[in-house]
A and B are shown apart, each in its own frame.
Chain A
Amino acid sequence: GAVVSQHPSWVICKSGTSVKIECRSLDFQATTMFWYRQFPKQSLMLMATSNEGSKATYEQGVEKDKFLINHASLTLSTLTVTSAHPEDSSFYICSTGGGFTTEAFFGQGTRLTVV
């Protein structure tokens, strides 16, 4: 199956700074990648759909200016949390692949702590 690598696995940053999370598809080209966020004891919530070569599609309630997504190549999508605040502390996961009859492949996730 496809391998998705996410980096870093965990990061601690100061409030007001920006953090970039990378998601790489290692063995196939992904025109679409998905970014999820998981708060403690809650489900994985889709934040946005990252489209190679075009703008990301954000879910309702997700601030596009705060969570910048760039999908400049078929193997790399990045999520930048800008001006991070403690309430942005969460577990962020990317995935690729997936359709109605195919499974998705997930990165290992990034635990972000904003202090």
Chain B
Amino acid sequence: AQSVSQHNHHVILSEAASLELGCNYSYGGTVNLFWYVQYPGQHLQLLLKYFSGDPLVKGIKGFEAEFIKSKFSFNLRKPSVQWSDTAEYFCAVISPTSGTYKYIFGTGTRLKVLA
């Protein structure tokens, strides 16, 4: 069965620190990859997505992620975090062979940025 692993459940950083959140998936075929963010009290919203092409994907708010097929990874990065980045981050995979485009989510990482 397909699965998505996020290695860090909680991360605490000071403002201006660099961020990297790990995401690994288990599926050998073609996948599309997403990072979603949920700010406190708000909806899940899309940060960035990878479908094909350049494996380094840039998203909103200065976030980027790199797809490394050989490592089955799609890690999220930001060079300098801000207090407003405090949120929960979810990595997700969708595969065309799953039939109905079901999302498979990781367990999420709660990021707290200290001002």
**Interface bin, chain A:** 20 to 34
With a CB–CB cut-off of 8 A, which chain A residues contact B102?
34, 46, 49
State whether the Cβ of A12 lies closer than 8 Å to any Cβ in chain B. no
Given contacts A43-B4, A106-B43, A108-B43, is CB(A100)–CB(B103) below 8 Å?
Answer: no
Shortest C-beta distance, A44 to chain B (Å), equals 4
CA distance A93 to B43 in the complex (A): 9
Shortest C-beta distance, B106 to chain A (Å), equals 6
B107 and A41 contact, CB distance less than 8 A:
yes
Interface residues of A in 88-109 (CB under 8 A from B): 93, 95, 98-101, 103-109
Enumerate 27 A-B pairs (CB-CB under 8 Å) in ascending A order: A1-B46, A4-B43, A34-B102, A36-B105, A41-B9, A42-B107, A43-B90, A43-B105, A43-B107, A43-B108, A44-B90, A44-B103, A44-B105, A46-B104, A49-B100, A95-B44, A95-B103, A100-B32, A100-B94, A100-B101, A103-B34, A103-B49, A105-B43, A106-B36, A106-B43, A107-B43, A109-B43
Q: Give me 7 other A-B pairs in contact (C-beta within 8 A), A42-B107, A106-B36 excluded.
A: A44-B90, A44-B105, A98-B101, A100-B94, A103-B46, A103-B49, A108-B42
- Spell out A's residues near B (CB within 8 Å): 1, 4, 34, 36, 38, 41-46, 49, 57, 93, 95, 98-101, 103-109
